């Protein structure tokens, strides 16, 4: 059977590239042949997007139609089931996670008008005076990762508010942006509004420097150079944490297990550290015992709940966990007969959940994020304050301490706070997740009539 190809998409058409990159799946087999654009090709695509950029919003109905096509239609000869299979094979995500992401993507695309407007100030109610929120540039670039499909909604929102958009897909999941681009074009989006530009990391950096606004996803190394650039918003490791300053009851333990393991632990909002005023070892033991009960299943199994890895990534993960095990208390390995890494016999490997404990809250491993259920438990006392709780994309406060809550709200390194057993990813339009994204995309322009 021929390996499917993924080509750049420019001006609504596939643009065959002579530079090729094989995408190897978690089983060690070639999954796709990806056409990779050189720097000159990316520059030409950006120039074409810029010539056509007019700042005008497409009809909201286009995005509703695109959402439904993305979820249900055959696009580019690919069914939804084939799309799910490709993402699972490329990323190792559980198939249930990919299917949830499809449903969540539909909900986000259909809610784009509400999401955008809810993040903007109420209009001035003064006759003859009003504010128009307009794109802060003509061309937007998205440098994507492959940990989860749902972040791709961020560049679709840029399209919605009037940008022309260039997307550099993640190396393991070019399938999600390719399908989204096809759905948008089929739904009636003008062809010169969006481009799919697979390219190297270096060329991706060039792309991001060539546009007016952009977003980049990745680890610390990927986002470090962009954090202080006003025209780029970064989405790096979440380092989401919980403060456990109350008894560890069964309902709270259930909540912590779900927070750490939902979607295979691949979200930036998944719990990666627990700071506790209670006994550290006991907390870590109970959390490890519960996470160890999650089933070990191959990637394509509908009952799979955990991420699987290809051999190279698995070997690197195994070395890292072995090193951490010499520095921290290991509460998970005693539950696993053959170690934390499971050879599934099909070329892929499953990292089982890992709970470690540190003797101090400022240990470098506290807040480390590894892309599967991985949690470090460390001690916390009230005099420590919020210092060990930051930085965090989400801080879950399991405490009645109002002073700590207020101090956490004031801490600029804590982006979002959940209280009690609210899910870390729980969100409604208008409540910031990681700052105000609509106001990053747009800028206000005053209009006064005589």
- Tens-place pLDDT, residues 376-409: 999 999 999 999 999 999 999 999 999 999 999 9
Report yes or no on whether pTM surpasses 0.85: yes
More confident residue, 125 or 177: 177
Q: Structural domain of residue 343, as residue ranges?
A: 240-419
Structural domain count, the chain: 2
- Report if residue 401 sits inside a domain: yes
Query: Would you state the pLDDT for residue 338?
Result: 82
Helix axes 95-110, 80-91, angle to 10 degrees: 120
Q: Decide if 323 is inside a domain.
A: yes
Asked if residue 429 belongs to a domain, the reply is: no
- Calculate the alpha carbon distances from 280 to 76, 117, 329, 379 in Å: 53, 44, 10, 6
- Measuring CA to CA, which residue among 353, 226, 341 is closest to residue 289? 353
End-of-domain residue from the set 198, 216, 236: 236
pLDDT band at residue 267 under the 50/70/90 scheme: very high
Q: Which residues does 264 contact at the CB level (< 8 Å), separation at least 6?
A: 93, 94, 97, 305, 306, 307, 372, 373
Same domain, 220 and 249: no
Same-domain status, 230 and 250: no
Per residue in 164-221, pLDDT tens? Answer: 999 999 999 999 999 999 999 999 999 999 999 999 999 999 999 999 999 999 999 8
Contact 163, 213 (CB under 8 A): yes
Q: Report phi then psi at 37, rounded to 5.
A: -85, 140
Residue position matching structure tokens 């007969």: 337
Q: Residue 427's pLDDT is what? A: 80
User: Is the same domain home to 202 and 305?
Assistant: no
Please say if the pLDDT value at position 367 is more than 70. yes
User: What pLDDT, on the 0 to 100 scale, is given for residue 112?
Assistant: 95
Residue 443 included in any domain: no
End residue of a domain, out of 236, 269, 304: 236
Scan for tokens 């438990």, then name that residue: 377
For residues 97 and 171, state if they share a domain.
yes
CB 237 within 8 A of CB 266: no
DSSP 8-state symbol, 192: G
Phi, psi at residue 51, to the nearest 5°?
-60, -35
Q: Look at residue 352 in the predicted model and tell me its pLDDT.
A: 97
Which region holds residue 212: left if phi is over 0, alpha if psi is between -120 and 50, else beta?
A: alpha
Q: Which residues pair with 100 in a beta bridge?
A: none
Q: State residue 1's pLDDT score.
A: 65
Looking at residue 110, its pLDDT comes to 96
Residues 34 and 93 in one domain: yes
pLDDT digit string, tens, across residues 55-111: 999 999 999 999 999 999 999 999 999 999 999 999 999 999 999 999 999 999 999
Is 25:311 a contact under the CB 8 Å cutoff? no
- In this prediction, what percent of the chain has a pLDDT beyond 90? 90
Based on the fold, state whether residues 390 and 410 are members of the same structural domain: yes
Q: Which of residues 236, 260, 292 is at a domain's end?
A: 236
CA separation, residue 258 to residues 251, 374, 389, 419, 422 (Å): 11, 12, 20, 15, 11
Q: Does residue 158 sit in the same domain as residue 267?
A: no
Cβ neighbors of 267 (< 8 A, separation 6 or more) are: 147, 148, 238, 424, 425
Residue 51 maps to which CATH number?
3.40.605.10
pLDDT of residue 299: 87
């Amino acid at each position: 059977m021929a390996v499917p190809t993924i080509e750049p998409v420019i001006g609504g058409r596939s643009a065959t590239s002579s530079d090729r990159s094989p995408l190897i799946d978690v089983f060690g087999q070639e999954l796709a042949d990806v056409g990779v654009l050189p720097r000159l090709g990316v520059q030409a695509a950006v120039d074409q997007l810029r010539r056509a950029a007019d700042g005008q919003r497409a009809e909201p109905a286009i995005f509703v139609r695109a959402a439904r096509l993305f979820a249900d239609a055959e696009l580019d000869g690919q069914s939804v089931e084939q799309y799910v299979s490709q993402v699972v094979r490329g990323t190792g995500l559980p198939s249930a996670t990919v299917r949830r992401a499809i449903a969540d993507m539909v909900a986000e695309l259909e809610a784009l008008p509400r999401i955008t407007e809810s993040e903007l100030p109420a209009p001035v109610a003064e006759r003859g005076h009003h504010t128009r929120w307009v794109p802060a540039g003509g061309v937007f670039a998205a440098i994507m990762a492959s940990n989860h499909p749902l972040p791709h909604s961020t560049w679709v929102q840029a399209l919605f508010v009037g940008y022309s958009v260039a997307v550099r897909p993640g190396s393991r999941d070019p399938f999600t942006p390719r399908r989204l681009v096809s759905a948008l074009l089929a739904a009636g989006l003008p062809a010169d509004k969006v481009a799919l530009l697979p390219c190297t990391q270096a060329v991706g950096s060039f792309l991001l420097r060539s546009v007016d606004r952009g977003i980049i996803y990745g680890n610390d190394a990927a986002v470090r150079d962009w954090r202080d650039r006003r025209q780029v918003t970064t989405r790096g490791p979440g380092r989401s944490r919980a403060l456990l300053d109350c008894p560890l009851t069964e309902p709270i333990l259930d909540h912590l297990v779900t927070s750490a393991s939902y979607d295979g632990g691949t979200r930036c909002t998944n719990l990666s550290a627990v700071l506790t005023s209670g006994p550290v070892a006991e907390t870590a033991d109970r959390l490890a015992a519960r996470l160890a009960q999650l089933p070990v299943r191959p990637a394509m199994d509908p009952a799979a709940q955990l991420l699987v890895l290809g051999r190279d990534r698995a070997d690197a993960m195994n070395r890292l966990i072995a090193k951490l095990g010499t520095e921290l208390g290991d509460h998970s390995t005693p539950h696993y007969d053959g170690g934390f890494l499971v050879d599934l016999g099909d070329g892929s490997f499953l990292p089982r959940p890992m709970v470690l404990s540190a003797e101090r809250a400022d240990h470098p491993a506290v807040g480390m994020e590894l892309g599967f259920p991985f949690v470090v438990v460390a001690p916390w006392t009230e005099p420590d304050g919020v210092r060990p709780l930051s930085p965090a994309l989400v801080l879950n406060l399991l405490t009645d301490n109002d002073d700590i809550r207020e101090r956490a709200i004031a801490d600029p390194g804590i982006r979002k706070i959940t209280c009690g057993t609210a899910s870390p990813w729980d969100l409604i339009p208008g409540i910031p997740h990681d700052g105000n994204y609509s106001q990053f995309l747009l800028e206000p322009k005053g209009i006064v009539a005589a």
